[in-house]
């Protein structure tokens, strides 16, 4: 491990110069858009709009009965938990002969001794002049929906729920898919965190990006919900690491005074990405189109391979000084700073000289090679099991894990249930995300004051 503190390097090349700004905002895009779309597109892709039992016998009576009147005839009421509000059942219908009921209603509306032509005209004319239509009787027998469902298409042209009839007895599928997605994320977050520490932030980022893009596109072509759930589970491996790894890489390029600022701004990017998702859902009302729109464009992020560098802070932690030197020189050049060639090597020699005086009580000329060799010995390889072995790290790991789980449950729960506000799903989701904006400048202002 190199003895160089990268924060000291940033003092010479710029803590938040033009180079960091370019990389930071590029990484904000790669961190927030894929993560927001990956996790929360299911809110619209698997949305369950209002639905009710399909009654084939009543479908041809649109000229004689309104939708509300057909519901009143065919659907029993169900009471909500408060006992005050009644709604039509979504999963039950009256088990009666609707043809006979409609025939009786029409016959009673025809004048006595009318001719057959008059009866037929009465049946086919508009509802003007007809008596009030029949309504369902609570004493009638009730059965499950026999002929499928009719869905309210005011907000959606098609979702996976409406296409596969994942309602009533099958309504558990979407929530199960979401659960498995987060089970995958539990393992993926640990695995990719380990990869980022062992093989680099850049390597981990592109591995996650490949996994996210490929499986997100594959999910769009799922033939059934079993395959969809399986693909979403695998896709969950990349969340939330697809957000965290670029976030870490961006912060590691910044000086310590600007990291809080950077953390707040990336939260604004994430809230904007969530709001954009609501807009896309509103414009693209078909689940397949929305799935492609929230996955295919991220193929462009592979162009970052030639733009985004490895974290020089991580490179120094692995004693890869020459590779870090190349990045530092480019950083200084773009920031308008001048540093000498082999800047990091010279800084390391100076640090080792100071350490030799303070630690050994000798001057810097006495055997610096032995000190350098000692400092350059490779650090022991860390594994995920180290989180459990060390008591101090284990305690902190469980505390932080609990905090993150509590935070995730609240945030994701509110996000997935924003559509229950009683307005348009898109408007509810958009409002839920934009309400986070007012608090972010306040947090940002407090963080700036704390550094002032």
Q: For the chain, what is the domain count? A: 2
| pLDDT for res 104 | 85
Instruction: Let me know if residue 90 belongs to a domain.
Output: yes
Alpha carbon distance 295, 219 (integer Å) = 9
Q: How many CA atoms, within 13 angstroms, populate the side-chain half-sphere of residue 244?
A: 18
Instruction: Let me know if residue 139 belongs to a domain.
Output: yes
- pLDDT (tens digit, 9 = 90+) per residue, 405-441? 788 788 777 778 776 777 788 988 888 888 777 666 6
User: Does residue 353 sit in the same domain as residue 276?
Assistant: yes
Q: Which of 92, 120, 151 is the last residue of a domain?
A: 151
User: Does residue 68 sit in the same domain as residue 40?
Assistant: no
CA distances from 281 to 115, 161, 274, 444 (A): 55, 15, 11, 30
Q: Which band of pLDDT confidence, cut at 50, 70 and 90, is reported for residue 282?
A: very high
Q: How many CA atoms, within 13 angstroms, populate the side-chain half-sphere of residue 125?
A: 13
User: Does residue 38 sit in the same domain as residue 142?
Assistant: no
Question: Each residue of 355-378: b (16+ CB within 10 Å) or e?
Answer: bbeeeeeeebeeebeebbeebeee
Instruction: Let me know if residue 271 belongs to a domain.
Output: yes
SS3 17: coil
Spatial CB neighbours of 89, under 8 Å, sequence gap ≥ 6: 52, 53, 75, 76, 77, 78, 142
Please tell me the pTM assigned to this model. Answer: 0.84
Find the mean pLDDT for residues 190-216.
94
User: Does residue 75 sit in the same domain as residue 216?
Assistant: no
Instruction: Let me know if residue 392 belongs to a domain.
Output: no
Instruction: Let me know if residue 410 belongs to a domain.
Output: no
User: Does residue 226 sit in the same domain as residue 338?
Assistant: yes
| pLDDT for res 263 | 84
| pLDDT for res 35 | 94
Average pLDDT, the chain: 84
What CATH number should be reported for the domain holding residue 175? 1.20.1250.20
Full domain range(s) for residue 317: 6-47+170-384+417-451
Q: How many CA atoms, within 13 angstroms, populate the side-chain half-sphere of residue 117?
A: 0
Phi, psi values for residue 150, rounded to 5°: -110, 135
User: Does residue 104 sit in the same domain as residue 202?
Assistant: no
User: Does residue 299 sit in the same domain as residue 258?
Assistant: yes
Q: Are 131 and 104 in contact (CB under 8 A)?
A: no
User: Does residue 41 sit in the same domain as residue 119?
Assistant: no
- pLDDT (tens digit, 9 = 90+) per residue, 297-307? 999 999 999 99
Query: Does the structure show a pLDDT above 50 at 320?
Result: yes
Instruction: Let me know if residue 366 belongs to a domain.
Output: yes
CA distances from 372 to 63, 312, 334, 363 (A): 91, 20, 31, 15
Q: Which of 151, 178, 209 is the last residue of a domain?
A: 151
User: Does residue 228 sit in the same domain as residue 324?
Assistant: yes
| pLDDT for res 60 | 84
- pLDDT (tens digit, 9 = 90+) per residue, 156-170? 999 999 999 999 999
Alpha carbon distance 187, 322 (integer Å) = 34
Alpha carbon distance 188, 122 (integer Å) = 67
Instruction: Let me know if residue 206 belongs to a domain.
Output: yes
- pLDDT (tens digit, 9 = 90+) per residue, 360-403? 445 544 554 444 444 455 556 666 677 788 888 888 888 988 88
Instruction: Let me know if residue 371 belongs to a domain.
Output: yes
Find the mean pLDDT for residues 301-318.
94
User: Does residue 232 sit in the same domain as residue 288?
Assistant: yes
Query: Does the structure show a pLDDT above 90 at 34?
Result: yes
Q: Which of 89, 122, 151 is the last residue of a domain?
A: 151
User: Does residue 29 sit in the same domain as residue 140?
Assistant: no
User: Does residue 441 sit in the same domain as residue 335?
Assistant: yes
Which range, of 230-234, 341-345, 353-357, averages the lowest pLDDT? Answer: 353-357
- pLDDT (tens digit, 9 = 90+) per residue, 101-140? 888 887 776 544 455 555 555 555 445 556 788 888 989 9
Q: Which band of pLDDT confidence, cut at 50, 70 and 90, is reported for residue 207?
A: very high
């Amino acid at each position: 491990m190199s003895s160089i503190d990268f924060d000291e390097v940033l003092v010479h090349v710029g803590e938040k110069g033009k180079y960091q700004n370019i990389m930071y905002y590029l990484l904000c895009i790669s961190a927030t858009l894929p993560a927001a779309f990956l996790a929360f597109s299911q809110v619209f892709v698997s949305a369950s709009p209002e639905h009710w039992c399909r009654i084939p016998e009543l479908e041809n009576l649109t000229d004689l009965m309104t939708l509300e009147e057909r519901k009143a005839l065919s659907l029993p009421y169900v009471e909500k938990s408060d006992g005050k509000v009644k709604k039509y059942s979504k999963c039950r219908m009256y088990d009666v002969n609707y043809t006979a009921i409609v025939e009786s209603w029409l016959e009673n509306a025809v004048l006595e001794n009318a001719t057959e032509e008059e009866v037929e005209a009465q049946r086919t004319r508009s509802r003007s002049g007809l008596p009030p239509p029949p309504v369902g009787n609570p004493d009638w027998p009730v059965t499950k929906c026999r002929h499928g469902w009719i869905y309210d298409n005011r907000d959606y042209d098609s979702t996976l729920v409406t296409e596969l009839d994942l309602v009533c007895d099958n309504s558990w599928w979407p929530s199960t898919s979401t659960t498995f997605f987060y089970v995958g994320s539990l393992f993926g977050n640990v695995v990719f965190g380990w990869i980022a520490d062992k093989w680099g932030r850049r390597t981990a980022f592109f591995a996650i990006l490949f996994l996210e893009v490929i499986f997100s596109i594959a999910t769009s072509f799922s033939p059934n919900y079993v395959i969809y759930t399986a693909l979403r589970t695998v896709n969950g491996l990349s969340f939330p690491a697809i957000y965290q790894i670029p976030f870490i890489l961006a912060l590691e390029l910044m000086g310590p005074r600007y990291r809080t600022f950077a953390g707040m701004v990336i939260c604004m990017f994430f809230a904007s990405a969530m709001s954009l998702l609501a807009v896309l859902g509103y414009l693209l009302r078909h689940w397949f189109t929305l799935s492609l729109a929230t996955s295919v464009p991220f193929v462009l992020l592979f162009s970052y391979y030639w733009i985004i560098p490895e974290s020089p802070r991580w490179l120094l932690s692995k004693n890869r000084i020459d590779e870090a030197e190349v990045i530092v020189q480019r950083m200084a050049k773009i920031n308008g700073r001048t540093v000498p060639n082999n800047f990091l090597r010279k800084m390391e020699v100076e640090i080792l000289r100071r350490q030799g005086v303070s630690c050994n009580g000798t001057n810097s000329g006495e055997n610096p090679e032995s000190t350098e060799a000692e400092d350059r010995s490779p650090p022991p390889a860390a594994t995920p099991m180290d989180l459990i072995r060390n008591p101090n790290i284990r305690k902190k790991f469980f505390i932080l894990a609990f905090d993150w789980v509590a935070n995730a449950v609240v945030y994701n729960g509110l996000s997935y249930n924003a559509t229950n506000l009683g307005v348009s799903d898109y408007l509810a989701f958009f409002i839920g995300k934009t309400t986070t904006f007012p608090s972010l400048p306040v947090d940002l202002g407090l963080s700036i004051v704390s550094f002032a």
